[in-house]
Amino acid sequence: MNRNLTPRPVRAAGAKDAHGSILDPSAGALYVHMHRESGLAHRHYVLKGWQVRTLRLLVSRPMQLVYVIAIVTMGWAWSQAARVPILLLRVGELTRDAKRLDTLTERLTQLTARYEQVQRMMAAARVPTASAKDSARVAPVASRPAPVRDTTRDTTRARAAAATKDTSRPVPPNP
């Protein structure tokens, strides 16, 4: 009586070749026995053909590559999601700074206008008299201070307009 019941010839090149693939779906159902090392507890599972095919697909090398790509992608997405609260705080801080700059720029413009108005009023009050003695006592009018650089967001536009301004024509005086 022949005890070799395998339908194919056995090649003794290794365990895989001698016994076939453990997840080969054509071999039928897969019986899984689990035993504890120290004890009598044991489990017995039977995986049907379709379950063996699914298991084989899940542990294949292409699927392992897909798992690695998915883990890397999810890690990147989670790191980006963790940055959101920090970025929201920074945007709020920059928004408050922009509002403060706008109010300071507006206030500076108002103070500059008031300063110019006071300078015009002081210049009008200092009418020179005909006598040389009185004119010697009057202090010379201080020269106008250097204009304060505009810090608004339109400085580049203002600089471009100033650079292209036609200087060949005289500028009329301000009233």
pLDDT tens for each residue of 50-85: 888 888 889 899 999 999 999 999 999 999 999 999
The torsion angles phi and psi of 80, rounded to 5 degrees, stand at -70, -40
pLDDT in tens, 86-109: 999 999 999 999 999 999 999 999
How much is the pLDDT for 3? 60
Judge whether residue 146 has pLDDT over 70. Answer: no
Question: 167 or 102, which is more confident?
Answer: 102
Q: Which residues contact 48 (CB under 8 A, 6 or more apart)?
A: 29
Look at phi and psi of residue 39 and say left if phi exceeds 0, alpha if psi is from -120 to 50, else beta.
left
**CA gap 57, 64 in Å, rounded:** 10
**Whether pTM exceeds 0.95:** no
Judge whether residue 124 has pLDDT over 60. Answer: yes
Q: Which residues contact 47 (CB under 8 A, 6 or more apart)?
A: 29, 30, 31, 32, 55
